[in-house]
Copies of this chain bind each other. A is one copy, B any other.
């Protein structure tokens, strides 16, 4: 017997920690988990579809959303806004689905502040060497960019302790199992079970 309200899980981790693969596998294995789609003001890249990869908004539309408290969190990065539209996430949770947000540390901590009920999970690479190797193996960036990313990663890792949980991504399948355990366990936190306890025993 479980809580009927879906929960909000926020996943972060430094670039190269493998969180994209972990999230994809988690969604493959659990069709009742939903991935929130971010909104952005940056232009779509080749092949990116509105409402699938991102909601592509104009700067005015985005600022209107911020002004009317329509974003769960937002940040600007390289001159563009990125954020999480609130209504879609909240409707999903209300309908009993768990929602995953894959966002940056800054946005995650904004959400924890506004919604202490959200569950924050930080994904670590097995080591900084491994992180560096993974970024180099991508062959998409020059060493200067990689070094910048590594510096940013080290900075981000310092925030792991502000997250509720920290998992080390040694192998994708193990990490997915660990996150599944966390998602299952969180449903049984007493604070979330209170309405159910009342239901069970109030009319007796």
Q: How far is the CB of A12 from the nearest CB of chain B, in Å?
A: 12
For A129, what are the chain B residues with a Cβ–Cβ distance below 8 Å? 204
For A200, what are the chain B residues with a Cβ–Cβ distance below 8 Å? 124, 126-128, 168
A46-76 near B? 1/0 per residue, CB < 8 Å: 0000000000000000000000000000000
Give how many copies assemble into the complex: 2
Which of A35-43, A91-99, A134-142, A190-198 contacts its partner?
A190-198
Contact A181/B190 with A1-B126, A196-B168, A200-B124 known, Cβ cut-off 8 Å: no
List the 10 shortest-distance A-B pairs measured between CB atoms, nearest first. Answer: A185-B185, A181-B184, A1-B168, A166-B193, A128-B204, A182-B185, A165-B188, A166-B190, A181-B185, A181-B181
Is there an interface contact between B170 and A201, defined as CB atoms closer than 8 Å?
no
A148: CB under 8 A from chain B? no
**Most chain B CB atoms below 10 A, which of A165, A180, A185, A193:** A185
Contact A189/B165 with A157-B197, A170-B1, A181-B181 known, Cβ cut-off 8 Å: yes
